[in-house]
């Protein structure tokens, strides 16, 4: 019998690392994933999932887009509306009437005397909130409580002459301030805003109908 003597490598020689595999063919720790094996956490394309074809995946995406056709427009408008709301809140600090008080006076000027529940509905707030605001502007002499025309046992809120004069002055001041901001825009942009007014009014009506 011939004895084979295995030669020891010289110091400093790098021995290539071998990848050992078990009987099942899977790689042991330290080796890369076997060809065709799934990587944990990875998501397979729809076309590679059992029972799902590429055309079905495309149809599903198109269906989702059809279900929310205005999502992109809403995403564009949302930050604009938030910034406008913030700017309006800051602007309110320079007026003697708060935004809620101005809104109530404007609503009464537009609709005439209203019951507290109807006024709260138009203002889109709770009745106690509206009642508190009415009490404040009533102490200023801008509104008064009168018997309801339809139900004498009920009470409505109506503008006084002082209140009507005050809301007209406040709205004029706000219009002048807003006009100064619009004057900074180009004529083309102002024309586009004017064309969008009917659509914006319809949008407000849609919110109020909810």
Our count of domains for the chain comes to: 1
Closest CA to 187 of 197, 195, 175: 195
Give the pLDDT of residue 24. 43
| CB count in 10 Å sphere of residue 190 | 13
pLDDT for 23 beyond 60: no
User: What is the DSSP annotation of 38-56?
Assistant: PPTT----GGGSTT--HHH
Q: Which CATH number belongs to the domain containing residue 124 in this structure? A: 1.10.10.10
pLDDT tens, position by position, 171-184: 898 888 889 989 99
Higher pLDDT, 54 or 126: 126
Domain assignment present for residue 137? The answer is yes
> Which residue range(s) make up the domain with 127?
82-209
Domain assignment present for residue 195? The answer is yes
Mean pLDDT value of segment 64-68: 54
pLDDT for 95 beyond 70: no
Closest CA to 58 of 45, 73, 76, 71: 45
pLDDT for 56 beyond 70: no
């Amino acid at each position: 019998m011939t004895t084979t003597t295995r030669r020891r490598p010289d110091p400093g020689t790098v021995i290539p690392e071998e990848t050992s595999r078990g009987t099942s063919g899977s790689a042991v720790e330290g080796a890369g994933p076997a060809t065709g094996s799934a990587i944990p956490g990875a998501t397979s394309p729809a076309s590679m999932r059992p029972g799902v074809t590429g055309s079905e995946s495309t149809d599903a995406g198109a269906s989702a887009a059809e279900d929310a056709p205005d999502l992109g427009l809403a995403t564009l408008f949302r930050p604009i509306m938030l910034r406008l709301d913030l700017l309006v809140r800051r602007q309110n600090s320079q007026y003697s009437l708060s935004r809620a008080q101005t809104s109530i006076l404007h609503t009464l000027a537009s609709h005439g005397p209203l019951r507290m529940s109807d006024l709260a509905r138009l203002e889109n707030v709770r009745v106690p909130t509206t009642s508190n605001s009415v009490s404040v502007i009533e102490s200023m002499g801008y509104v008064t409580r009168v018997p309801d025309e339809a139900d004498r046992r009920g009470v409505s809120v109506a503008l006084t002459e002082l209140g009507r004069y005050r809301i007209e002055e406040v709205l004029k001041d706000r219009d002048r301030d807003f006009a100064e901001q619009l004057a900074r825009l180009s004529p083309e942009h102002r024309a586009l805003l004017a064309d969008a007014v009917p659509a914006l009014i319809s949008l407000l009506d849609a919110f109020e109908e909810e």
